[in-house]
């Protein structure tokens, strides 16, 4: 048996190394590759993807896994069981789907992206509709192959947020709607109470970058095992926990956007750098789900870096860095400015109060598309009606509405809920940390982030894929997914900022 498991380890580590190479190629493509190399790179990556697919669907791998799972399960330790369980899941996801279906999804994904880019530029939803319609058919067919026992939309959600279904998400989202729509309405009535004008102006790019590097390093990003670069869309990638690559973009007239995007990506990066890679390059060391990953980025971006203690520590440095912009401001002015709340059309630019409604709108549309109660052709009208109902605004065109996100162009249905689940988890984790480390906000106000990082390392990062999100959250917070804390956090924070009597 032992040799059989060792044999499996070898195969799984090889797959992990090949994925690391793929990831480095992807980073290179976004960050340093000359624009003329696109076609050649696409072929290189397709060739490598073919090799990885072959390794992942190798019948010998499958036989070994079934053997270990069915005949030797009890002789395996908990970590070994985790590796077998995860590898088996990946193997089944890859092998249960007919090759022509996989091929069509890959083809449609690259063509779909091009069609979407153009349709968005030209504000023509009708051009994108056929791609969306076909993807829906393919994703329903895909779901019937991989999880015939669940509904197709649940199977798609499961890909990003394991074990979380519509039965869990719908009541949580209903509660958020019930609480947040009136909160946003109340904030809107007193919008003038927050003056965000100090965020406008010119901010030298080199100073922005120096500040971003300093804060990222202060909160724990290890530059000896990671890099920070510039790309069109910020992301966190890299080939291994010892090689984590984050990116951002700098805009001369918007210092907060780049700063918060780098803190967000640093949160993702700390999770990656904190993975238990001493256990080998194996499934157990991987990050858990999209929602848990997002909880880590939002923990730093919102719970820490949009809090009063954070500005108590950093206001001086920010003022020194941009003296002309913040001459007349103080820590409280900046805190309030950064936290100003305003309904707008674009999800990625939304503040923490309105963001969940952008997600809920997409979730409800995806649910409707999968259960057949909504038709692709009606989406622009449905989208706009939801925006009006939830945020009180109607997009002037589809570019600022239904065409804004790339997710559907690659068939990523079921992804959006992870953003808001992440925000809820982040809040629950923060509360648990406060319970265990009551003086932590004083530490943050003094710029000591080490105990925060260590707490996250010990509670979340080091567990890799050992537990389900449900078990992990219960273990860290003493309860399961609970939107109540997130709602209380928002109500308390924003009624203070906008002086609301709730």
Nearer to Zn ion by Cβ, of 23 and 495: the residue is 23
Place of tokens 């480095």: 24
Per annotation, catalytic residue among 86, 179, 265, 352: 265
| Minimum gap (Å) between residue 234 Cβ and Zn ion | 9
Q: Which two tokens stand for residue 488?
A: 């209380």
Instruction: Specify the residue, 214 or 233, whose C-beta has the smaller distance to Zn ion.
Output: 233
Buried b vs exposed e over 122-141: b needs ≥16 C-beta within 10 Å?
A: eeebeebbebbebbbebbbe
Minimum gap (Å) between residue 268 Cβ and Zn ion: 6
Phi-psi region of 400 (alpha: psi -120 to 50; beta: other; left: phi over 0): alpha
Q: Report how many helices (DSSP H) and strands (DSSP E) the chain contains, helices first.
A: 20, 3
Size of the site for Zn ion (CB under 5 A): 1
Q: Which is nearer to Zn ion, 255 or 415 (CB)?
A: 415
Q: Is 274 exposed, middle or buried (0-12, 13-18, 19+ CB in 10 A)?
A: buried
385: Cα within 13 Å, side-chain hemisphere: 7
Q: Which residue has the tokens 């003022």?
A: 319
Report, in Å, the least distance between residue 294 CB and Zn ion. Answer: 5
Q: Distance (Å, rounded) from C-alpha 313 to C-alpha 466?
A: 36
Q: Is 30 marked active-site? A: no
Q: Widest CA span of the chain, in angstroms?
A: 71
How many Å apart are CA 173 and CA 51, to the nearest integer? 41
How far from the centroid of its chain's Cα atoms is residue 21's Cα? 22
Q: How far apart are CA 435 and CA 423, in angstroms?
A: 19
Residues between 291 and 350 with contacts to Zn ion, criterion CB under 5 A: 297
Other CB atoms within a 10 A radius of the CB of residue 343 amount to 20
Rounded least distance, CB 418 to Zn ion, Å:
9
Contacts of 81 (CB under 8 A, 6+ apart): 73
What's the min distance (Å) between Cβ of 433 and Zn ion? Answer: 20
Three-state SS across 370-406? HHCCCCHHHHHHHHHHHHHHHHCCCCCCCCCCCCCCC
Positions 268 through 297 that interact with Zn ion (CB under 5 A):
297
Least distance from Zn ion to the Cβ atom of residue 296, Å: 9
Around 20, how many Cα atoms within 13 Å sit in the side-chain half-sphere?
Answer: 16
Q: Which is nearer to Zn ion, 241 or 267 (CB)?
A: 267
Cβ proximity to Zn ion: between 301 and 366 the closer is 301
Which residue is at the shortest CB distance from Zn ion? 297
Q: How far apart are CA 313 and CA 391, in angstroms?
A: 34
- Would you say 330 and 315 are in contact if contact means Cβ atoms under 8 Å apart? yes
CB of 297 to Zn ion, least distance (A): 4
Closest approach of Zn ion to the CB of residue 469, in Å: 16
Closer to Zn ion by CB, 266 or 297: give it. 297
Instruction: Select 306 or 384, whichever has its Cβ closest to Zn ion.
Output: 306
Q: Which is nearer to Zn ion, 293 or 313 (CB)?
A: 293
Point out which residues bind Zn ion (CB under 5 A): 297
Please identify every residue annotated as catalytic.
Answer: 265
């Amino acid at each position: 048996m032992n040799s059989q498991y060792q044999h499996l380890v070898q195969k799984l580590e090889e797959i992990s190394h090949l994925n690391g190479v793929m990831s480095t190629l992807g980073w290179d493509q976004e960050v340093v590759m000359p624009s003329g190399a696109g076609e050649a790179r696409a072929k290189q990556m397709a060739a490598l993807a073919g090799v990885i697919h072959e390794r992942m669907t190798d019948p010998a791998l499958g036989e070994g896994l079934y053997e270990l799972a069915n005949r030797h399960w009890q002789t395996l330790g908990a970590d070994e069981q985790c590796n077998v369980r995860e590898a088996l899941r990946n193997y089944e996801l890859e092998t249960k789907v007919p090759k022509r279906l996989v091929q069509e999804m890959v083809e449609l994904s690259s063509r779909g992206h091009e069609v979407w880019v153009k349709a968005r530029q030209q504000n023509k939803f009708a051009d994108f509709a056929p791609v969306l319609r076909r993807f829906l058919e393919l994703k329903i067919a895909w779901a019937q192959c991989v999880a015939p026992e669940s509904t197709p939309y649940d199977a798609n959600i499961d890909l990003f947020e394991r074990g979380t279904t519509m039965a869990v998400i719908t009541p949580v989202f209903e509660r958020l709607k019930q609480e947040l729509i009136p909160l946003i309405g109340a904030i809107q009535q007193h919008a003038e109470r927050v003056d965000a004008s100090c965020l406008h102006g010119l901010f030298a790019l080199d100073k922005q970058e120096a500040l971003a590097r300093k804060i990222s390093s202060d909160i724990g990003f290890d530059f000896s095992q990671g890099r920070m670069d510039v790309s069109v869309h910020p992301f966190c990638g890299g080939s291994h926990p010892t090689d984590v690559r984050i990116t951002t973009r700098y805009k001369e007239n918007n210092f907060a956007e780049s700063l918060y995007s780098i803190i967000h990506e640093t949160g993702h990066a700390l999770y990656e750098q904190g993975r238990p890679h001493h256990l080998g390059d194996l499934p157990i060391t991987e990050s858990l789900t999209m929602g848990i990953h997002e909880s880590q980025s939002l923990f730093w971006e919102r719970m820490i870096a949009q809090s009063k203690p954070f500005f108590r520590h950093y206001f001086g440095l920010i003022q020194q860095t941009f003296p002309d912009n913040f001459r007349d401001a103080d820590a409280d002015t900046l805190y309030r400015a950064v936290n100003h709340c305003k309904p707008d059309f674009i999800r990625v630019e939304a503040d923490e109060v309105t963001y969940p409604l952008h997600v809920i709108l997409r979730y409800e549309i995806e649910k409707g598309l999968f259960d057949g109660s909504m038709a692709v052709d009606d989406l622009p009208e449905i989208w706009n009606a939801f925006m009006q109902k939830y945020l009180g605004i109607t997009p002037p065109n589809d570019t600022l509405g239904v065409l804004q996100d790339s997710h559907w162009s690659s068939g990523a249905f079921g992804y959006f809920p992870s953003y808001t689940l992440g925000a809820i988890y982040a809040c629950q984790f923060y509360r648990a940390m406060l319970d265990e480390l009551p003086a932590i906000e004083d530490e943050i106000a003094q710029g000591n982030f080490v105990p925060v990082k260590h707490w996250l390392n010990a509670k979340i990062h080091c567990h890799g894929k050992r537990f389900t999100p449900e078990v992990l959250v219960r273990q860290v917070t003493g309860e399961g997914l609970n939107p109540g804390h997130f709602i209380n956090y928002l109500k308390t924070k924003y009624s203070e900022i906008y002086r609301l009597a709730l």
